[in-house]
Amino acid sequence: MKLKKNSIKLKIWLYFLLFAVVILCGLWLFQTVFINGYYRNMKQNSIVSGAQTLVEQYASGVVGTTYAKMASVAMENDLAVNIVDLEGRTLFAYSPAGRRYGQELALYFNGFGQSAVKKNAVNLLARQIREQESGALFEYFDNSNGQQMFVYSTLVTDANGDVAVLIVTSQLQPLNETVKILSEQLIYVTVGILGIAFVLSFVIAQKVSRPLEKITEKAAVLSQGNYDVTFEAGGYSEVNQLAHTLNYATSGLKQVEKLRTELISNVSHDLRTPLTMIKAYAEMIRDISGNNEEKRNQHLAVIVEECDRLSDFVQDLLDVSKLQAGVIEYHPMEFNLSELIQKTLGRFDVLKEKQGYTIVLQGRSDVFAYGDEKKIEQALYNLLSNAVNYTGEDKKIFITLEETEQKVRVSIRDTGPGIPKEDLEHIWERYYRVDKEHKRAVAGSGIGLAIVKSVFLLHKTDFGVESEPGHGSTFWFELYKQEPQRGN
């Protein structure tokens, strides 16, 4: 298996190892470097808190039981305890096992055993404590046996109010031996943990990266143009999400690819037909009708018509691209919708006269609407062209204008074949055609409805189609009568 420099696998592996190393370093530091300080701190705390308990017990107690309790506190905390009254008399003394009775006290008073001297020393100490208003803690090092200890002294008062001095000592054990043992153990622990971390992190990294690698492999297949790949979900939710998104994108790409192929065939069909006609008629003029003015003019008229059709088609392509790219300008204002419909219908007069189409308009003649008049005209024209193209043998088309308080709804109904349910949501897509063969009374570009959709999306109003095969289709859209208030 190869590990690339920036791979997630390598990173997880390294981070995991780093984590283990940091933890081990922490362990090493605490077990070897900081252990002395930590031990001293702990000893200090235990001597001070032990002394505090002793003071409370001494103050509250009945002599016999109190001494027993004090002895047990001293034992628990490994403390040697002496209570000396201000006359220099020892009232209570306790030494943990293995330590000579009164040893620490003797050291503390620097070896002076006589009570007079001891009395002075105790009084001096009592004065110091009073002045400091707290117990006195200091460290003592005995050169003779290398013994190190903490000594804490404070004043105690018994139940009768008699004051004495409490002197507590706690021995510090040398840690060198312990540190040595710990270090040795730590070497094993370190090797063990590093080994486990190494293997475990490798396995985890493998597990995390595998689904991603699989997806990458599939994506490579996709990038070669194979849209039939499916991305599999892979164990954890982020990858599942990614796989889902990629599957979605793949189906989108597939659709685009299909549309692209259709587009090429549609566009080439739409371009080829007029071009063939133009070529044919141009040749006819050259070879046959060049000198016959009447025929020549007829043929020239066909050429002009076909050129118009071509340029309309190119214009439509441009319009829909612009609309969908969102670069088109939008100038909404109030305009007379009834008049606009009349004007647009006028463009179909030739058809009405020559081919017997009937277009019935229902609605008031002065309905106003709010929108971009030019774009609405274009959408209306496209809808009417479709109705003319697809309506039934009776060649009838019905337009109705319905008003509500705020909106006006325009419906264009034909008596044609209708649209199958499965095609209904697709007809608004660019270049989508239900029937690849299409009859045409009016030039159609195959992008008419895509333009209609873009126009009404731009106006942020509702539009749609109701259609059932065999029962004609009704395309409709709505417009606000006046500029809508914000939030509408």
Closest CB 406 distance from ligand ADP, rounded Å: 28
**CA–CA distance, 46 with 74 (Å, rounded to integer):** 10
Q: Which stretch binds ligand ADP (CB under 6 A): 23-31, 119-127, 233-241, 440-448?
A: 440-448
Q: How far apart are CA 394 and CA 179, in angstroms?
A: 106
Does 274 participate in binding ligand ADP (rule CB under 6 A)?
no
Rounded to a whole number of angstroms, the minimum distance from the CB of residue 6 to ligand ADP is 48
Minimum Å distance from CB 14 to ligand ADP? Answer: 57
Please select the residue that binds ligand ADP; options are 193, 434, 457, 458, rule is CB under 6 A: 434
Report if residue 419 touches ligand ADP, rule: CB under 6 A.
yes
Among 410, 449, 455, 479, binds ligand ADP (CB under 6 A): 449
Tokens matching residue 424: 């209904």
Considering beta carbons, is residue 131 or 437 the nearer one to ligand ADP?
437
**Under rule CB under 6 A, how many of the chain's residues touch ligand ADP?**
22
Residue type, 284: M
As a whole number of angstroms, the distance between CA 110 and CA 357 comes to 130
Compute CA 424 distance to the chain's CA centroid, rounded to the nearest angstrom: 35
Contacts of 70-75 spanning 24+ positions with Cβ under 8 A: 70/94, 74/50, 74/168
Give me the 357-396 binding string for ligand ADP, x by CB under 6 A, dash otherwise. Answer: -------------------------x---xx-xx------
Stretch that binds ligand ADP, among 107-115, 200-208, 401-409, 446-454 (CB under 6 A): 446-454
**DSSP code for 434:** S
CA distance 306 to 303: 5
Is there a contact between 229 and 215 (Cβ–Cβ < 8 Å)?
no
**Least distance in angstroms from the C-beta of 212 to ligand ADP:** 42
Q: Give the torsion sign (CA, 302, 304, 308, 314).
A: positive
CB closer to ligand ADP, 89 vs 438: 438
Q: Cβ of residue 429: shortest distance to ligand ADP, in angstroms?
A: 8
Minimum separation from the CB atom of position 401 to ligand ADP (A): 18
**Binding to ligand ADP by residue 416, rule CB under 6 A?**
yes
Which one of 319, 373, 414, 478 is in contact with ligand ADP (CB under 6 A)? 414
| Residue selected from 337, 427, 442, 455 as contacting ligand ADP according to rule CB under 6 A | 427
DSSP 77: T
- In this complex, which beta carbon is closest to ligand ADP, that of residue 287 or of residue 437? 437
Query: Is there binding between residue 447 and ligand ADP (CB under 6 A)?
Result: yes
**Burial class of residue 32, CB neighbours in 10 A (0-12, 13-18, 19+):** middle
Q: How many Cβ atoms sit within 10 Å of the Cβ of residue 296? A: 16
Cα separation, 62 vs 57, whole angstroms? 9
Helices vs strands, H then E, count in the chain: 13, 12
Among 66, 445, 454, 461, binds ligand ADP (CB under 6 A): 445
* Candidate residues 211, 234, 371, 448; the one interacting with ligand ADP per rule CB under 6 A: 448
Q: In 3D, which of 143, 190, 250, 198 has the Cα closest to residue 28? A: 190
Contacting residues for 377 by C-beta, under 8 A, at least 6 apart: 340, 343, 344
Told to check if 474 binds ligand ADP by CB under 6 A, we report no
Residues that bind ligand ADP (CB under 6 A): 382, 386-387, 389-390, 414, 416, 419, 427, 432-435, 438, 444-450, 473
